[in-house]
């Protein structure tokens, strides 16, 4: 693997999932693989799980890690060609990325969407320009549109919790929130779910359609109860409006996943990327039930990041 910013960077999704499960059995098996290699982690936005799990994954492979909180105010980057840089932006991506490429063997970048400028967000400018000008492998720590490290961990958690006597029914359900939330986790989950053996259904109130670039041929059902019927996995996630881009959907408060809704399912496992707002997105009952696998997803973030780094290191080491 050269880069990891989308499922499309992965040749064989099943193999990557299996790699992750293998690494989980012996996390320190490849501790020499990343020796003398350095991973740089740049956070243009706050991070907890992604930061810790990716750091630990790299250390498990013997890599050194250097973390930078690159507050957008402190390190304003210019992305325009031929810009006359007489404003707030102090460095052009051409220099910034080229230097990063000299210091790090692999670089991870987190850069959230604006939720106001649709076109800029969809271009995923920050990570794509870093990739273009650094000349070194780049991994997404959540971009404006996708969060592939989360999605790989999610797929792995589905595999672990399924016996595969039949294709599982996986439902991504929109859930209410208190403020506008990026689409990246939902986009990314859809993109990956479309690549594994499952019956994938997306449910949300009308108007909350996601970008079809990521949802592809996934079945969309507007009645949550109908969608949840016989579900084996329920992935709960809020997102803001995509069509009226980035706006808060003020409604759907009855879409919270609770006991009654879970009873419609086939004793479904409950998933969420965290952080989760209890009794807004999911009820205490749902999160505290034995069917909740949200902590397992978070735990699998380490091994997912490790499988990704291992694949890139294998490629670097020729």
Binding positions for a second copy, rule: CB under 8 A: 28, 36, 38, 40, 46, 48-49, 51-53, 55-56, 59, 64, 66, 68, 70, 74-75, 78, 82-87, 90-92, 94-96, 98-99, 102-103, 178, 274-280, 284, 287-288, 294-295, 298-299, 302
Q: Please report how close the Cβ of residue 113 comes to a second copy at its closest, in angstroms.
A: 18
Q: Collect all residues with Cβ–Cβ distance below 8 Å to 42 and sequence separation of at least 6.
A: 68, 70, 100, 107, 108, 109, 110, 141
C-beta of 81 vs 119, nearer to a second copy = 81
Which residue, 145, 164, 166, 171, is CA-closest to 272?
Answer: 171
Q: Cα separation of 204 and 222, whole Å?
A: 6
Q: Please report how close the Cβ of residue 274 comes to a second copy at its closest, in angstroms.
A: 6
- Reduced 3-state DSSP string for 116-185: CCHHHHHHCHHHHHHHHHHCCCEEECCCCCCCHHHHHHHHHHHHHCCCCCCCCEEEEEECCCCCCCCCHH
Alpha carbon 59 to its chain centroid, in Å, reads 21
Q: Please report how close the Cβ of residue 179 comes to a second copy at its closest, in angstroms.
A: 10
Going 23 to 301 to 204 to 282, the CA torsion angle's sign is positive
Query: What 3-state class would DSSP assign to 306?
Result: helix
C-beta of 95 vs 230, nearer to a second copy = 95
Q: Please report how close the Cβ of residue 313 comes to a second copy at its closest, in angstroms.
A: 17
Could you please report the per-residue DSSP string of 184-206?
A: HHHHHHHHHHTTSSSEEEEE--T
C-beta of 114 vs 279, nearer to a second copy = 279
Q: Please report how close the Cβ of residue 90 comes to a second copy at its closest, in angstroms.
A: 5
C-beta of 2 vs 278, nearer to a second copy = 278
C-beta of 48 vs 213, nearer to a second copy = 48
C-beta of 103 vs 225, nearer to a second copy = 103
Q: Please report how close the Cβ of residue 173 comes to a second copy at its closest, in angstroms.
A: 18
């Amino acid at each position: 693997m050269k880069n990891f910013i989308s499922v499309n960077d992965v040749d064989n999704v099943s193999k990557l999932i299996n790699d992750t499960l293998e690494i989980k059995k012996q996390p320190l098996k490849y501790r020499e693989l990343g020796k003398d290699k350095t991973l740089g982690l740049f956070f243009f936005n706050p991070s907890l799980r992604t930061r810790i799990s990716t750091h630990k994954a790299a250390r498990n492979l013997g890599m050194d890690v250097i973390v930078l909180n690159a507050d957008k105010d402190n390190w304003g980057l210019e992305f325009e060609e031929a810009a006359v840089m007489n404003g707030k932006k102090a460095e052009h991506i051409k220099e910034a990325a080229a230097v990063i490429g000299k210091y790090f063997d692999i670089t991870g970048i987190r850069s959230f969407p604006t939720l106001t400028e649709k076109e800029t967000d969809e271009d995923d400018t920050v990570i794509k320009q870093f990739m273009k000008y650094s000349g070194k492998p780049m991994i997404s720590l959540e971009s404006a549109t996708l969060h592939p490290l989360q999605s790989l961990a999610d797929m792995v958690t589905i595999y672990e919790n399924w016996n595969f006597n039949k294709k599982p029914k996986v439902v991504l359900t929109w859930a209410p929130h208190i403020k506008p939330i990026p689409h990246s986790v939902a986009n990314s989950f859809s993109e990956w779910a479309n690549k594994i053996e499952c019956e994938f259904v997306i449910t949300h109130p009308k108007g909350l359609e996601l970008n079809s670039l990521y949802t592809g041929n996934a079945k969309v059902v507007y009645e949550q109860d109908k969608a949840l019927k016989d579900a084996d996995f329920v992935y709960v996630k809020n997102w803001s409006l995509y069509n009226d881009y980035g706006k808060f959907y003020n409604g759907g408060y009855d879409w919270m996943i609770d006991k009654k809704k879970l009873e419609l399912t086939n004793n479904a496992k409950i998933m969420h990327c965290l952080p989760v707002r209890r009794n807004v997105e999911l009820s205490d009952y749902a999160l505290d039930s034995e069917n909740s696998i949200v902590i397992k997803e978070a735990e699998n973030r380490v091994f997912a990041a490790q499988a990704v780094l291992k694949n890139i290191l294998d490629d670097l080491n020729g």
